[in-house]
Amino acid sequence: MTETPKAELPKAYEPSQVEDKWYSLWMERGYFKPDTNSTKQPFTIIMPPPNVTGELHLGHALTASLEDIMTRWHRMKGEPALWLPGVDHAGIAAQVVVERMLAKENKTKYDLGREEFTKRMWAWANSCRQTIRKQHMKLGASCDWDREVFTLDEGPSKAVRTTFKSLYDQGLIYRGERIINWCPRCHTAISDLEVDHKDLNGHLWHIKYPLADDPTRFVTVATTRPETMLGDVAVAVNPDDDRYKALVGKKLVLPLMNREIPIVADDIVDMTFGSGAVKTTPAHDQTDFDIAQRHNLPLINIFDQDAKLNGNAGKYAGMDRYAARKLVVEELAQLGLLVLVQDYAHSVGHCQRCTTVAEPTASRQWFVKMEPLAAPAIAAVKSGEIQILPERFNKVYLNWLENIRDWCISRQLWWGHRIPVWYCKDCGETIVAIEAPTTCHKCCSASVEQDPDVLDTWFSSGLWPHSTLGWPEDNADLNRFYPTSVMETGYDILFFWVARMITMGLHNTGKVPFRTVYLHGLIRDEKGEKMSKVKGNVLNPLTLIDQYGTDALRFGITTGNSPGNDIKLSLNRLEAGRNFANKLFNASRFVISYLNKIEPGTLQITELPAEDRWILSRLNRVIGQVNSFMEEFQFGEAERTIHDFIWGEFCDWYIELSKVRLQSDAGHSPLPVLLKVLDNSLRLLHPFMPFVTEEIWQHLRPYLGDTPDSIMIAAYPEADPAEIDAAAETFVDGLIEVVKAIRNVRAEHKVEAGRWIPAELHTGDLAAELAPYQPIIESLGRVRPLTISDDRVQAESDTERLVLVLRDAELVLPLSGMIDQEAESARAAKELAETESQVTRLSAMLSNEAFTAKAPPQVVAKERAKLEALEDKLKRLKGG
């Protein structure tokens, strides 16, 4: 992107002035596309498709930021990087949104009819897709937008139909009557995973059922849902329960319905619950359904699709379930059959999409046999072929798959993938096909009708990694980019989506869909509470971008975070991101202001003073640490490391040290090192904060020689071991410690900024080496004169002077007119106590095998070095 840089950067960084400009240029130049001619192993990541239910939220922003970090990093490493975007039709969720919009028009989907309602859904979906794409672009997402996929596109639709037929032909999809979760509001079956269970305060009603042959005798049952007794077909007891052994096989009269029902014995009955006898309503309870299957009992469904009682409920037909409950209880009491009512808290399932209480109902639906599909998915994780991060989720994943039940995949919706099943009206034949048949293959009748239901959204989403790349067609993208590299998503959809992608991918392709699963945490507010519109703590990412800039938002939601851990987001984190962007911008502006005085290409690094060797050594250590963190998917730690280096070492110290040399024009110019470190720092930071780094780097390019047109296709830095200089690091760290100590004393005692104070530095063998840095210490510490001597101070602080024990030196400052003696004594005692505390803490941590075994080796080594320095300091503080 050839652009003539300005003479200097603007005085202030304005994100709104640069973000759209650079994103448009990146798009125009095709930088988001992978190099299909490269022989390197590609990096492929498929975007978890946002639902067409509205705008992106902060969770989407986190997903996009993390995936963009990965993609930009791999692209800068020279790998062909494909980040494929997409959007999900969202089945129930999207239909609920549009139905609510219709409700505002006093209409329902039935008023429109299926065809017109579907048109309305498509209009909404297309509008949402455009919104979602624009919002991802605002976030800086470097997706290959030409490959964008919608789950209802023809390619994914064909993949869905192909998969359904394959599973059906293998006997892994079947139609049968089972207990499903029915949403009375959405009028559809929903899977177990789409039911949110909430603990509610209710009651436990104890009801007497008379024996048919002796109405004076009763069996008492306890239930949380007395209205369902209208559909009872038996009362079950445990065969080992002595209270009921003699009654097994006898008949009871079902109160209110006057229908005889048997007493059956079943091991599933808990003798300690209630009276030990349980009413059995197999059409509305999974356990009761299982009992009915074992004892050949009938199913009596007493609810219609609105959860109102139907004709099987006798005189209660047409009543709402809760109104019926109230009336049933009243009538039982009047008949003297209500023995006891207890307060009772129990878990009640709610539809995840609309929060309506779900109704367990026996229904004829389409199911997938999951056990045969789960076995290879279990093996893939156990063998390590797929790695889940963090590892603690392995157990959760395996436990779910090892205990999995068949999956109800049919939904009574009008929006989604229509089930590819047709029924012949003449001969009753069931036809499963990839393409719509025109005639029955059995009787040749043209009177065929498609199943009205659609598939669970997660069925199509489960095919996402391979359907987006063209499966079932055998094409170049599928061969080149599948299996994908990483699946990055929230841990809350490990079951919904990740497990299903693995099962479906293995079934359809014989290969795992991805090598690594990276699970991020949820974004919560600063108090740790989940964000919701009801609580009023929701933050809109676009509003935050307008206020702080995209880079600041990305910084705020990713820095310091680790896989699987929730994020407490406060505006302070966003302010910190904005401040960091401004700090980097201002520091870069300073450096470039000096570079503009030099002819491009004339800067060379020759013999270097200690501070230059120090910053280059620190730079290379940071490069090594960052690349290691990136390889380990510790993106938050990588970003924190870069931030601390740029802000704390490069800006606060090296640039300040270099100013003395720049202003004196004596000795070696620091400009070549300033240029090199700034260039590398920008490239290190680019995957995390792409806009501010591109803006600065474009002004730096003329001085870098032969470089790419954009930082996003520049090489990511690699550490050069030859530039690691431990001696220079030790020396400059000591120099910095001296200046910090002086500054701290001045701050503690409120010494005026313009006031110079004398100082003595007793450094032993380091005196000669420190002597050339006397002007730097004086300038940065505001001390003059500064005396540097090769002796050591043995005496402690007294009424005349303050002695500070540093790592390799003693610093002596005058007390007259500056120090409060009592305050100084308190400070010295506090410093001694704090040093002892730090030594104790670090000693304990380094003695803990759990820490030393799990922490990165470089972290352990850093902590050991810190402990050694603190132990030496403690010894000298005590006068040893």
Phi-psi group of 71: left, alpha or beta (phi > 0 → left; psi -120 to 50 → alpha; rest → beta) = alpha
**Banded model confidence at residue 6, pLDDT cuts 50, 70, 90:** very low
Task: Tell me how far apart the alpha carbons of residues 267 and 287 are, in angstroms, rounded to a whole number.
Answer: 11
**Banded model confidence at residue 818, pLDDT cuts 50, 70, 90:** low
CB 348 within 8 A of CB 198: yes
**Mean pLDDT for the stretch of residues 750-767:** 85
**Banded model confidence at residue 600, pLDDT cuts 50, 70, 90:** low
- Give the helix/strand (H/E) hosting 407: strand 407-408
pLDDT value at position 1?
47
- Going from the N-terminus, what domains does the chain have, and what CATH number goes with each? 15-146+458-553 (3.40.50.620), 188-360 (3.90.740.10), 581-724 (1.10.730.10), 750-877 (no CATH)
795-806 pLDDT tens trace: 666 657 788 888
Task: Tell me how far apart the alpha carbons of residues 735 and 740 are, in angstroms, rounded to a whole number.
Answer: 9
Which tops the pLDDT comparison, 68 or 770?
Answer: 68
Task: Tell me how far apart the alpha carbons of residues 469 and 459 are, in angstroms, rounded to a whole number.
Answer: 17
CB 491 within 8 A of CB 520: yes
Hey, what are 626's tokens?
């960052």
pLDDT value at position 452?
94
pLDDT value at position 826?
77
**Cα-based distances in Å from 78 to 197, 484, 565, 622:** 48, 17, 31, 20
Residue 4 has pLDDT above 50, yes or no: no
What SS3 class is residue 416?
Answer: coil
Task: Tell me how far apart the alpha carbons of residues 584 and 9 are, in angstroms, rounded to a whole number.
Answer: 12
pLDDT value at position 235?
96
Residue 849 has pLDDT above 60, yes or no: yes
Q: Environment class of residue 402 by beta-carbon count within 10 Å: exposed (0-12), middle (13-18) or buried (19+)?
A: exposed
Q: What is the DSSP letter of 765?
A: G
257-300 pLDDT tens trace: 999 999 999 999 999 888 899 999 999 999 999 999 999 999 99
Pairing of strands 188-190, 173-183: antiparallel
Residue 816 has pLDDT above 80, yes or no: no
Task: Tell me how far apart the alpha carbons of residues 875 and 605 are, in angstroms, rounded to a whole number.
Answer: 41
**Mean pLDDT for the stretch of residues 382-409:** 94
Longest dimension (CA), the chain: 114
Hey, what are 438's tokens?
């025109």
pLDDT value at position 750?
80
CB 608 within 8 A of CB 673: yes
Residue 668 has pLDDT above 80, yes or no: no
Residue 638 has pLDDT above 60, yes or no: yes
Hey, what are 16's tokens?
């709104």
Contacts 24+ apart (CB under 8 A), 572-576: 572/526, 574/544, 574/547, 574/548, 575/548
Q: Cis peptide leading into 483, omega within 30 of 0?
A: yes
**Cα-based distances in Å from 351 to 186, 309, 321:** 9, 20, 16
Task: Tell me how far apart the alpha carbons of residues 450 and 436 are, in angstroms, rounded to a whole number.
Answer: 9
pLDDT value at position 602?
58
346-365 pLDDT tens trace: 888 898 878 899 999 988 99
Cα distance from N-terminal residue to C-terminal residue, the chain: 63
Pairing of strands 234-237, 259-265: parallel
Beta carbons within 10 angstroms of residue 144's beta carbon: 17
Which tops the pLDDT comparison, 853 or 179?
Answer: 179
What is the average pLDDT value for the chain, to the nearest integer?
90
Q: Which residue has the tokens 């850093």?
A: 862
**Mean pLDDT for the stretch of residues 839-851:** 86
495-544 pLDDT tens trace: 889 999 999 999 999 999 999 999 999 888 888 887 765 567 778 999 99
pLDDT value at position 495?
82
Q: Which residue has the tokens 């994100």?
A: 15
What SS3 class is residue 414?
Answer: coil
In 195-304 the beta strands, taken as DSSP E runs, fall at 195-211, 214-223, 234-237, 251-254, 259-265, 277-280
Task: Tell me how far apart the alpha carbons of residues 495 and 508 are, in angstroms, rounded to a whole number.
Answer: 19
For the chain, the residue count is 880
In 498-537 the beta strands, taken as DSSP E runs, fall at 514-520, 523-525
* Strand-by-strand arrangement of the 757-762 sheet: 783-789, 757-762, 810-814, 801-805
**Banded model confidence at residue 605, pLDDT cuts 50, 70, 90:** low
3-state secondary structure 151-194: CCCHHHHHHHHHHHHHHHHCCCEEEEEEEEEEECCCCEEECHHH
pTM score: 0.84
pLDDT value at position 529?
80
User: Vertex 541, ends 526 and 140: CA angle to 5°?
Assistant: 125
pLDDT value at position 2?
46
Residue 180 has pLDDT above 90, yes or no: no
Amino acid (1-letter code) at residue 800: E
Distance of CA 700 to the CA centre of its chain: 35
- Give the helix/strand (H/E) hosting 411: strand 410-411
pLDDT value at position 819?
56
Lowest-pLDDT choice from 137-141, 648-652, 705-709, 789-793:
789-793
Does the annotation place 740 within a ligand binding site? no
CB 480 within 8 A of CB 64: no
pLDDT value at position 5?
46
Provide the β-strand partners of residue 761. Answer: 788, 811
pLDDT value at position 862?
84
